[in-house]
Amino acid sequence: MNNPLLLALALAFALPFFSSLLSLSHPLDPLTPNEINQIQHIIQNSNLGSLPNLTFHFVDIAEPDKSDVIRWLDSKSQPKPTKIKPPARQAKAVVRAGGKTYELVLDLATNSIVSNHVYTGHGYPPLSFMELFQASKLPLKYSKFIDSIVSRGLNISEVSCIPMTAGWYGETVTTRILRVNCFYRGGSVNVFARPIEGINLLVDVDTMRITSYSDRFRAPLPKSEGTDFRSKKFAENSIITYNISGPGFKIDGHNVRWANWEFHLSFDARAGVTISTASVLDPVTKNFRMVLYRGHVSETFVPYMDPTTEWYYRTFMDIGEFGFGRSADTLQPAIDCPASALFLDGYVAGGDGKAQKMANVICVFERYSGDVGMRHTEINVPGRVIRSGEPEISLVVRMVATVGNYDYILDWEFKQSGSIKVGVDLTGILEMKATEQIYSDGKTGNTYGTLVTENAVAVNHDHFLTYYLDLDVDGNRNSFVKAKLQTARVPPSANPPSPRRSYWTVVKETAKTESQGRVRVGAEPAELLVVNPNKRTRLGNQIGYRLITGQPVSSLLSDYDYPQIRAGYTKYQVWVTAYNKSERWAGGFYADRSRGEDGLSIWAWKNRAIENRDIVVWYTVGLHHNPCQEDFPIMSTIHDGFELRPANFFERNPMFKQD
Ligand SMILES: *[C@@H]1O[C@H](CO)[C@@H](O)[C@H](O)[C@H]1NC(C)=O
Ligand SMILES: *[C@@H]1O[C@H](CO)[C@@H](O)[C@H](O)[C@H]1NC(C)=O
Ligand SMILES: *[C@@H]1O[C@H](CO)[C@@H](O)[C@H](O)[C@H]1NC(C)=O
Ligand SMILES: *[C@@H]1O[C@H](CO)[C@@H](O)[C@H](O)[C@H]1NC(C)=O
Ligand SMILES: [Cu+2]
């Protein structure tokens, strides 16, 4: 490394890691590469190491108890920080060995396994990248498949195969399988645009063998002309400039400070970016007050709407089946984030358990997009026109998950107004099906999707991204309130009489139990609030944060359809549950081939009390996608998201300062 700039960059990127070894560590810090390798070493040297085919599917910190984390944080924020021992550093690992799934908890200080037991329930842990890669290569050496390719007049060297998860369709015994679909490049880089239709190929993952093959029919191969998705304007070698530390924010270890916000930023293979202990500065007391204890994407559900043999099973749960962190892509400066952003690395365990660096998977930057933060013009002061305002400047934390054909841009945006805005942008390539059809009659179209080019139908589907939002609004005892806006009538007998006949007023309902915490957004006008019933503003209003939802989208599948049973929580956009450290993955931890026996909708059946308790809000960003021609050859971003906005949390607008 003889380029001084590169050396400076390398040092700067290494800094957060080194500094986390010092006093800046936080109990929720992600595993360091050394810790990941230590875990691999402990497990490899245990009795599991002597079993055949040891593979690592999940490695993460074992989350310390919230009370310990809060106690540790509080001790740090004292004027004279008291020395308290941080919670023990433990890790959780899920491995497969000898055809079984093992759940382990490890203690890193003592280099030991605390617990180890075999998981015997339904469903499997996330597939490792190695397994997906190996499965994708199997067809290319499989003689029946080669025959199918040759008999179609195609060249096997131009075929790319992509493994897809298989779901669950009522089988009483399941094994770990992948369905592999193949595509023809033939000079194009848009793999998904040229599906080789009609072939069904099943791979048994544990033995890594093709166990079932059929070639049912042929459909014309969609043409390669016009499928290239690479933009000419932003070539791969566009100017790259780095700014090591942005002007307004500071990162110590994994702790981020910016304007009136302070939060912890981490990255793991399953959730990707995780925001923890996000607190906002109270301009009156000068104390940081907690808003969000922990937030991340918990599960995704992407069911395709084509029930035919080659397509019915495409009902993906990407977080549980692959992992969003695992799918995180290296961000391109000046395209994915401003060139001046700070780019951060993440570390995950590979299938062999060893630490793998994922370079530049998070970016952090200050955003000034030309928007207005607040303004006013006053013309009623005699003889004067008074104009005032401030631009909107916010801090954005971003990652991009590329899961097969789709790219999800996931933003956490912190605002000086006290809002946290979560943004989801979808882009990428559509999943297409080859067809005889070359012309859409415009009326009926195609039952399962839209003809986007000759011989290619982009199949209808949904995207559901369910967020885990452990809000702790100014303390961890909170309630969920539906502030319903109801029409009130003015009685003719009103005294004094009013010419008005009606107005609306707010009727607040506090959810007592989990069954009252489910909401179909839009069914009635209501503001959704998480309040701290134990605290009030100086004026006596209940302290809270409002959930401003995006598009109200819920699943249209029938309740007893298998994929819907697995993702039952997608019938409501909002759920509120009692906090339980082990309830984090909305579709269940073992999502691959799951049967819907674990997960959000099941936990909520307990109907626990949620009033004045530690509660978790789950919000699903949803999009029904009936594709159109503009989504081809690459779809421009479509945006949705939600906002957590203070509602009587502050004494007044926290952005407003008169110094
Ligand atoms: C271990 O893997 C090999 C090859 O991948 C496979 O043939 C064998 O059945 C596997 N053994 C077990 C116990 O899963
Ligand atoms: C098949 O494709 C490979 C690589 O693209 C090329 O080198 C080879 O000449 C092709 N073979 C035929 C028969 O077209
Ligand atoms: C980096 O940040 C500094 C200070 O804010 C600014 O002056 C400079 O233009 C930035 N450089 C780039 C390349 O964005
Ligand atoms: C926490 O959740 C897990 C998984 O749902 C459950 O097994 C456990 O009993 C729960 N603990 C409490 C205290 O409710
Ligand atoms: Cu889509």
Secondary structure string (H, E, C) spanning 163-200: EEECCCCCCCCCCCEEEEEEEECCCCCCHHHCECCCEE
Ligand 5 centroid to residue 580 C-alpha, Å: 33
Whose CA is closest to 333, among 455, 242, 402? 242
Q: Which residues of 17-49 are buried (b: 16+ CB within 10 A; e: fewer)?
A: bebbeeebbbbbbbbbbebbbbbbebbbebebe
Contacts of 195 (CB under 8 A, 6+ apart): 181, 182, 183, 184, 222, 432, 433, 434, 456
* pLDDT the model gives residue 247: 55
Single-letter amino acid code for the residue at 637: T
Which atom of ligand 4 lies at the shortest distance from residue 602's CA?
5
Residue nearest to atom 3 of ligand 4 (CA): 582
- State whether the beta carbon of 206 lies less than 6 angstroms from ligand 1: yes
The distance of Cα 68 from the centroid of its chain, to the nearest Å, equals: 26
Question: Residue 461 in contact with residue 315, Cβ under 8 Å?
Answer: no
Q: How far is CA 570 from CA 174, 303, 427, 556, 584, in A?
A: 24, 11, 22, 9, 15
pLDDT at 10: 40
pLDDT digits (tens, 9 = 90+) for 517-569: 999 999 999 999 999 999 999 999 999 999 999 999 999 999 999 999 999 99
- Nearest CA-CA partner of 128 in 177, 59, 57, 180: 57
Predicted TM-score (pTM) of the model is 0.92
**Of all protein residues, whose CA lies closest to atom 3 belonging to ligand 2?**
157
For a pocket test of ligand 2, which of 146, 149, 157 has the largest count of ligand atoms closer than 8 A to its C-beta? 157
Q: Which CB contacts under 8 angstroms, 24+ apart, belong to 73-79?
A: 73/277, 77/287, 77/288
Question: Under a CB-based contact definition with an 8 Å cutoff, are residues 274 and 266 in contact?
Answer: yes
Instruction: Name which of 363, 99, 367, 350 is nearest 248 in CA terms.
Output: 367
- Our answer on whether the CB atom of 239 is closer than 6 Å to any ligand 3 atom is no
Choose one of 95, 133, 207, 211 to mutate for the ligand 1 pocket test, by most ligand atoms within 8 angstroms of C-beta: 207
The amino acid sitting at 552 is P
pLDDT confidence bin for 83, thresholds 50/70/90: confident
Q: Could you give the residue ranges of the DSSP H alpha helices within 139-269?
A: 143-151
Q: Which of 155, 81, 459, 172 is nearest to 306 (CA)?
A: 459
Per-residue pLDDT reduced to its tens digit, 175-194: 999 999 999 999 889 999 99
Tokens of 573: 């956009």
- Residue 46 pLDDT exceeds 90: yes
Closest ligand 4 atom number to CA of residue 603: 5
Mean of per-residue pLDDT scores for the chain: 92
| Residue 318 falls in the annotated catalytic set | yes
Choice among 225-239, 269-283, 603-617 with the minimum mean pLDDT: 225-239
> What are the two backbone dihedrals, phi and then psi, of residue 349, each rounded to the nearest 5 degrees?
-90, 135
Ligand 1 binding pocket mutation candidate from 57, 102, 208, 209 (most atoms within 8 A of CB): 208
Ligand 3 centroid distance, CA of 658 (Å)? 28
Q: Which residue has the tokens 């801090």?
A: 395
The whole-number average pLDDT for the span 109-120 is 97
Q: Report whether pLDDT(11) > 70.
A: no
Per the CB < 8 A criterion, the answer to whether 325 and 271 are in contact is yes
For the chain, which residues make up each domain, given as ranges? Answer: 22-119
What is the 341 CA–ligand 3 centroid distance (Å)? 10
Q: Which CATH code is given to the segment(s) 22-119?
A: 3.10.450.40
Mean pLDDT of 305-332: 97
